[in-house]
Structure 1
């Protein structure tokens, strides 16, 4: 049957429960790993156990804590079960009709009086494929500007890759790693972030793939590597540029690929020429000979693959790092071939086009960057906010975000649980969980899988698909554009999105692991992008210097956005965050298991702890220009001296009652890629409450 965990039992001595004759099959939707799972229900129809699906060819029965924790969240005390309205500071139960009427009235009022730009959406957790499609239709009809997961997770990666290759998605499936001779993992603890899929990397290693991990922390992934390169925080760009420079100067690149499939090679060579391996060694702390050997291995061991993570995407100099490493893969010719390319959890099937008639499309009357959103909310340019997610925890400067939301005229939260953002809303709407709705799910293997609804709702929850369709009807919008079920939504996707035209629901269900995309109307799957050497840029080539008008350059993290002008004397350390499987998203922590598996802590090197004067388990106050929080100390040699790191997504409304780590990050963005910064901010740390040594 594969791996399993029983609810309320985490001890290794737990005995397997007797399986139902029929276990319901589903797909975990928490990290784009696409892990197949089996759901066992009790006599009341509630989940009693979650198993890995051994018949799914991608996770092969393996799962992590995420799907098991979230099953508890469905029935826990924090779950929102019915619509509520805030009256004199407290929430009162109302009907869906009352809620929809009020939201529609407010929405139309603000559009008429203040324009479409006075309403924004922060919807990082909008729901499954049905909800995403309905939301996109609603946005086109209303001119809604929406901020999804991009600003806090993927913008720098997706934006840079799109300018390089013409598509922001990963170019190759994770499963292709078994065909690679070398895998370079940069800033990515895959053993935690894609735990159910990590076996692909260990299997590849067993069959001869050389696995190299570059990271600031000695992670579980680093432990499994052939070579671990511990790098100083925020210096990845310098390493990437030095590798480029060494490969170019020593003619180790693929001359045929460069000549035939790239533009800007000479300019790129000029941009990186000053960053020698000797200089990079001084900046990164990585010995010169190690850098040069890595460059040689990447040039000789072909095909090769790259797997970047949030460790280089959510920092204040992220775009240049992504540019350097992905440009390196391009000039080595490691694109479009089996065992080559870029692995990414960004694997979008693409959006629909030409569904809505031009006369019905409403354009936004103003747009703003994610960092400018704070100011516009504070100054009253934004009147109304639609939330699906928890921006008061996941966005930087959490206290500022909370205050800005609290000051808005009207806030709607469509939410699974009563979290830090929901408590600030005027209207709270109960959302379905991904186990309570059907839909298509893309994964890191560049496949789309179909999952049926696994469990029934137990309250008045509605999906985002139903919510936006019903709201459109109340607002007098042409509701005929909207699908009325996940099944009809997918048929619309197939009709108006050529990338999935050949992928029927029946085909997905009949194909273990799902169907690769793009997949044309004639049904031909594409396992990896750019196999024919034609890229989606205007030139049809890789634009090596098309990422920015400025040259590729290394910017010291201490002189990058968020740290510029801040006193190093007052703030001598660097602070960062790292995801763990049991706390991958904010919703994961609303489970008893999360409490048992992870408590808030801050990792620090023994010498750093000695400098601060704290011991294991002591309380320490970490302070930045944005704010301060108190955390328990976890002393470990896995992090370098002067570097502090914690889990990112605790919340004041969560079972922990812990201020989120994002409280410490000022509102700052990577200048090349646009990601908001959630790593590598300078900080101070002091023993709290007289607990020093």
Structure 2
């Protein structure tokens, strides 16, 4: 690619922006070129091309190629809005901030600081995520802050912390994938969710790797599998037990690694004595032979990597399910060396960094614990406050919605998220938000949550807002954004500083740029598990990205490979953990005979707030659907393409049917990118994983019926 001379580009009426995609966790680098449209059809035309980078190697998917469309959309909110007489009307920034400050003060005086809640997002920059946690605890004094990443990475994060002593999405590098001779993709659809990574896997196949995919659907990723384990939703922990059983029976274990670098092996070995492969096969809906085949492929391979994602993690036993896959990694010693390891495929753009620096209810910057006295003293010292002034831990994202519903939380400040669509049990969440004394939403568009807000604050887009993000492999990247902010929109971090000033806390929020915030983040994270101290903007510009942990500006960090010599527990050893095989939290019955799972499609991202504003992306999937097996459709008298109602114990939603033979007969699949009447989360279960508070998105039981039959029954009743 030839570099563009930016000074001459400006003279020639070109605008050249080197940035990175705002969507998934790969964080592909790209160049956006804007120029006047000579045809007269439009004011400007845009051309997009990928820039070389270590993750996607210059590739872009359809989302990245069209990301500029939402950033330049005429639907952007360009000035503060306040609800007056049930209508959102434009107001000045001064009026909006004064109203928020006044209401915050009133609620705090009447109900205490914990009556204020803050709800963030996994797509915010590291700087904004850090500042949101600090704003919550220092400016507001509330313990109630959490974020939508709780629905993304919490199971894998907690499993990594318990097993390894630290959570970083990938323990190896993306460049290790082609070196693996066996790859397990458990509950992850790379081809649609992170498509620019697919060449790593095709290269591995060319090198002779066996690819095992665990998924109840035959996805585009499963199409490339050598072994497809079409598992019953909610039985992944049991499946891992079956795989482990075979590894133990065939003695495909690394006994030296186990003895020197792990603890708890004897308990796991004793547990394996009680595991029966035929019981695992019955639970999972798989044949013993295919489980054995997959286990042998993993165990016999010289190098292997296991990846998990939401299919495994978004369950009420997601934490232990991931831990059981980690048992496989430890038992075979396949970690800490080239071509080996474990990876949790982060979903959101900053799903990794967003959970490291304080917007999670129990964390302080650097992956420190808010309940640890030494951690509290250190961060309080960086912030210039007394440790006693720091609130204690709060609750998880959905539990915050329950507290709102119970009116323990009276005000909610939402930044970078759309909780009325993304939370499970969406009807309760909507009722909760309606009961608030004050709902403030900072967003680019009128999301479903923003429509309910009392005050809406317009924020800048990725083309306009500079900051760092940490991709799925733990590589910190700098996104420099030079486009002018449209209208009266402001950077999210700047809004937090202005609100802090209104609240009389300006002395703690004196920043002139995102770099100023990052420099404080570096110090706050120093010595923590996620140590960013050695990472600077200058290094990021020079090196293109730096892995954490990086404790010194003079070091290159760990170059992406974790646990080569020791794990992060005090004794340096990783921990085995026996996991029981059990049924999902909801079992199909006569009333609710089908298991509903949900997930993503290629063209959309999260709740669709941004991608629905891209004409090119929206045209690919203009509405939601429910995917079901042809035999299931016949049984329920459903025709392809007709509207159906899907009902669970919590509620119902309506979507079109899509009939296929690429899914289990007992399972239906619904994408998660739509709100309103098409919101799958109106029917999902609010039950939470006891270890990490992940909701059970993947295993709700439902009934499905054509709307025409429902209409006919109503006519007969009338």
Please, what TM-score do these two structures have when normalized by structure 2?
A: 0.87
Comparing 106-115 with 231-240, which one deviates more in the overlay?
106-115
Q: Corresponding residue for 2:21? A: 28
Q: Could you tell me how far apart the structure 2 residues matched to 1:331 and 1:198 are?
A: 28
Task: Specify the alignment match of 2:548 in structure 1.
Answer: 517
* Cα distance in 1 for residues equivalent to 2:574 and 2:253: 15
Structure 1 unaligned blocks of 5 or more:
3-18, 546-550, 653-657
Distance 1:269 1:360, change over 3 A: closer
Structure 2 counterpart of 1:40: 33
Matched positions, count: 660
Segment of structure 1 superposing worse, 436-445 or 368-377: 368-377
1:40 partner SS: strand
Counterpart position of 1:651:
675
Matches within 5 A, 1:369-388: 369-388=396-415
Report the Cα distance in structure 2 between the residues aligned to 1:189 and 1:126, rounded to whole angstroms: 20
Match of 2:620 among 597, 615, 619: 597
Q: Deviations over 1:196-221 (max 9, x none)?
A: 22221112222222221111110111
Q: Deviations over 1:526-578 (max 9, x none)?
A: 12354343222243211213xxxxx5212201xx1xx27xx711111111112
Partner of 1:554: 581
2:145: which partner in 1? 146
1:678 maps to which residue? 697
**Paired position in structure 2 for 1:449:** 477
Is the Cα contact below 8 Å between 1:38 and 1:51 reproduced in 2? yes
Provide the C-alpha distance between the structure 2 equivalents of 1:124 and 1:418, rounded to a whole number of angstroms.
16
1:365–1:295 CA distance, 2 compared to 1 (3 A): closer
| 1:640 and 2:664 aligned | yes
Moved more, 463-472 or 240-249: 240-249
| In structure 2, C-alpha distance between the alignment counterparts of 1:58 and 1:520, rounded to whole Å | 22
Q: Who is 1:12 aligned against? A: none
Identify the residue that residue 123 of structure 1 maps to in structure 2: 120
Secondary structure of 1:184's partner?
Answer: strand
Structure 1 residue 125: Cα displacement: 5.3
Find out whether 1:574 has 2:606 as its counterpart. Answer: no
2:78 matches 1:81:
yes
SS for the counterpart of 2:260 is helix
Q: Distance in 1 between matches of 2:102 and 2:268?
A: 54
2:165 match = 166
Contact 1:619 1:691 in 2 (8 A): no
1:340-359 alignment to 2 at 5 Å? Answer: 340-344=340-344, 345=346, 347-348=352-353, 351-352=365-366, 353=379, 354-359=381-386
TM-superposed CA distance for 1:646, in Å, is 1.3
Residue 56 (str. 1) matches residue 77 (str. 2) = no
Counterparts of 1:617 and 1:176, CA distance in 2: 42
Equivalent pair of 1:121/1:144 in contact (CA under 8 Å): no
Match of 2:96 in 1: 99
How far did residue 359 of structure 1 move?
1.8
1:376-407 CA-partner distances (Å, limit 9, x unpaired):
21221111101121001000111211111011
**Which residue of 646, 651, 674 corresponds with 1:622?**
646
Q: Which residue of 1 aligns with 2:502?
A: 474
Does the 8 A contact of 1:152 with 1:677 survive in 2? no
TM superposition shift of 1:355 = 1.7
8 Å CA contact 1:601, 1:631 repeated in 2:
yes
CA contact (8 A) 2:424 2:686 kept: yes
TM-aligned CA distance change 1:46 to 1:500, over 3 Å: farther
For 1:611, the equivalent position in structure 2 comes to 635
RMSD: 2.4
Q: 1:178 to 1:618 in 2, by over 3 A?
A: same
Match of 1:291 in 2: 291
CA distance in 1, matches of 2:209, 2:112: 56
Q: Distance in 1 between matches of 2:95 and 2:471?
A: 38
Note if contact 1:320-1:554 (Cα within 8 Å) is conserved in structure 2.
Answer: no
TM-score normalized with structure 1 length: 0.90
Spell out the pairing of 1:475-490 with structure 2 (5 A cutoff). 475-490=503-518
Unaligned 5+ segments in structure 2 are 3-11, 358-364, 367-378, 713-718
Structure 2 residue matching 1:581: 3-state secondary structure = coil
Aligned residue for 1:436, secondary structure, equals coil
Tell whether the 8 Å contact from 1:582 to 1:589 is kept in structure 2 after alignment: no
1:440-475 residue CA offsets vs partner (Å, 9 max, x unmatched)? 121123312212114221111112210111111110
For the residues of structure 1 that align with 2:589 and 2:287, how far apart are their CA atoms? 26
Assess, with a 3 A threshold, how the Cα gap between structure 1 residues 151 and 496 changes in structure 2: closer, same or farther: closer
| Maintained 8 Å contact 1:130/1:485 | no
Separation of aligned partners in 1, 2:566 and 2:230: 36
Contact 1:336–1:528 (CA under 8 A) maintained in structure 2:
no
Cα shift at 1:323: 1.2
Which deviates more from structure 2 when the two are superposed, residues 355-364 or residues 250-259?
Answer: 355-364
Give the 5 Å matches for 1:220-235. 220-235=220-235
Distance 1:553 1:129 in 2: 37
